[in-house]
Chains A and B, each alone.
Chain A
Amino acid sequence: MMKKKSSNILFSQLRELILEARQVAYRNVNTLQVITNFLIGKTIVEHEQRGALRASYGKEQLASISRKLTQEFGRGFSVDNLQLMRAFFLTYQNRFQIHATPISETVSRKSQNKLSKEFVVQSPVRKYETLSRISANEKYLQKLSWSHFVLLLKMEEDERRFYEIESAQNNWSVRELERQYNSSLYERLILSRDKKKVKQLSKKGQILQQAQDLIKQPYILEFLGLKEEAAYSENELETAIINRIEQFLLELGKGFLFEARQKRISFEGEDFSVDLVFYNRLLHCYVLFDLKIGKLTHQDIGQIYPVRYKREA
């Protein structure tokens, strides 16, 4: 017995070590990929500016470069991808910092490029060391992977800033970011806020200060897989939510914890139950959900309905 237990402990300790190492490695690979693609984009743009790649000739040249790169390095260097890297550099050039390098053998020069005038840019890029000398002005950008950026590049400036912040803060996977974007989270938050607060979204992300900040209009529950026209009961809706609780929590937003379904409360000798009970740890408050499959009526807000009637209806 004892032996087994201690071997279990050893196993889980080793497992943790390995997982941690992998995570670090994964993160480093990701960062390296982002930085390399940034530099690839930068190099292409600089070439264009020198007139080396122009119009249709430029396109051809990019295609031939893409073929060669693919031949040598495998996937990831299609013309589309190279164009993405170019767009990546153009969009983020002011937000990644290229530090002056102390390596004496490389020729440093003040960049003539107005957009990066504050930094001494080393050119051409030859050394791995250069890569580590690039950092993001805004720290949170470092948490995002290349796939995050590919998605972000599709967006307009304000909403991109919002999704950058939220992805980094909430550790959204690419899939989660994609879902939030496809569900138009940004637009929905705008629709449920007053104008003053809308600007904040692209500067600070979603900030929870009061009850209203928790709310979106509308809530999107596409992940439940329920059909719009199909008949389903409130109970079925609730069960579907519980079965997809992770997605529902993602939809609710930050800080939500799930406590109970059909939580019973007794009041003046009668039993009631609350459909879904959540807690928001950022706002330090309970958030109670009442599900209605139909149109909102006075009764939903106002009338007492003991649990035995409610569920049979």
Chain B
Amino acid sequence: MKLSNGVKMYVNYFDRVIKLKEENPTVGIILCKQSNKAVFEFTLNDKQKRIFAREYKLYLPGKKELKRQIENL
């Protein structure tokens, strides 16, 4: 399995073919139901930090829950 493709490939393609010189590097976001930090970091190895995996939710989150998460940061 070639690890440097997928979303990474789209992003690289846009940077090489579509992006103009004066524009900034392309950002890629994988919007998924459930993320997996370990998988993501292991596979991606993205030092430039422009590819992200983020979860989506189909309901409004509980503010209390988020506040708790913030306190635990």
Residues of chain A whose beta carbon lies under 8 Å from any beta carbon of chain B: 182-184, 187-188, 190-192, 195, 210-212, 214-222, 224, 226-228, 265, 267, 272, 274, 280, 283-305
Residues of chain B whose beta carbon lies under 8 Å from any beta carbon of chain A: 1-11, 13-14, 17-19, 22-36, 39-40, 42-44, 48-61, 63, 66-67, 69-70, 73
A220 and B49 contact, Cβ closer than 8 Å, known pairs A296-B39, A298-B1, A302-B8:
no
Contact across chains for A272 and B30 when beta carbons are under 8 A apart: no
A302 — nearest CB in chain B belongs to which residue?
B3
17 contacts between A and B (CB under 8 A): A182-B60, A192-B54, A214-B27, A218-B56, A220-B61, A228-B59, A285-B23, A286-B18, A289-B31, A290-B29, A292-B32, A293-B33, A296-B30, A302-B4, A302-B44, A303-B1, A303-B2
Sample of 8 more A-B contacts, CB < 8 Å, known A285-B24, A297-B36? A187-B69, A192-B54, A215-B54, A222-B57, A284-B22, A298-B1, A300-B30, A302-B5
A229 — nearest CB in chain B belongs to which residue?
B58
Bound-complex Cα distance A285 to B35 (A): 24
* Contact of A295 (CB < 8 Å), options: B32, B42, B54: B32
A202 to chain B, nearest CB (A): 13
* Contact of A184 (CB < 8 Å), options: B4, B49, B55, B63: B63
Contact across chains for A288 and B11 when beta carbons are under 8 A apart: yes
Most chain A CB inside 10 Å of its own CB: which residue of B17, B18, B39, B48? B39
Which 9 residue pairs across A and B have the least CB separation, nearest first?
A: A292-B32, A187-B66, A285-B24, A218-B55, A302-B3, A295-B34, A304-B5, A219-B56, A286-B26
Contact across chains for B58 and A221 when beta carbons are under 8 A apart: yes
Contact across chains for A187 and B6 when beta carbons are under 8 A apart: no
Contacts of B6 in A (CB 8 A): 290, 299-305
A265 to chain B, nearest CB (A): 5
Contact across chains for B8 and A290 when beta carbons are under 8 A apart: no
Most chain B CB inside 10 Å of its own CB: which residue of A216, A220, A285? A285
Contacts of B4 in A (CB 8 A): 302
Bound-complex Cα distance A296 to B42 (A): 12
Contacts of A283 in B (CB 8 A): 24, 27
B56 — nearest CB in chain A belongs to which residue?
A219
B1 to chain A, nearest CB (A): 6
Contact across chains for B1 and A302 when beta carbons are under 8 A apart: yes
Contacts of A292 in B (CB 8 A): 30-33
Bound-complex Cα distance A58 to B16 (A): 71
Bound-complex Cα distance A285 to B39 (A): 26
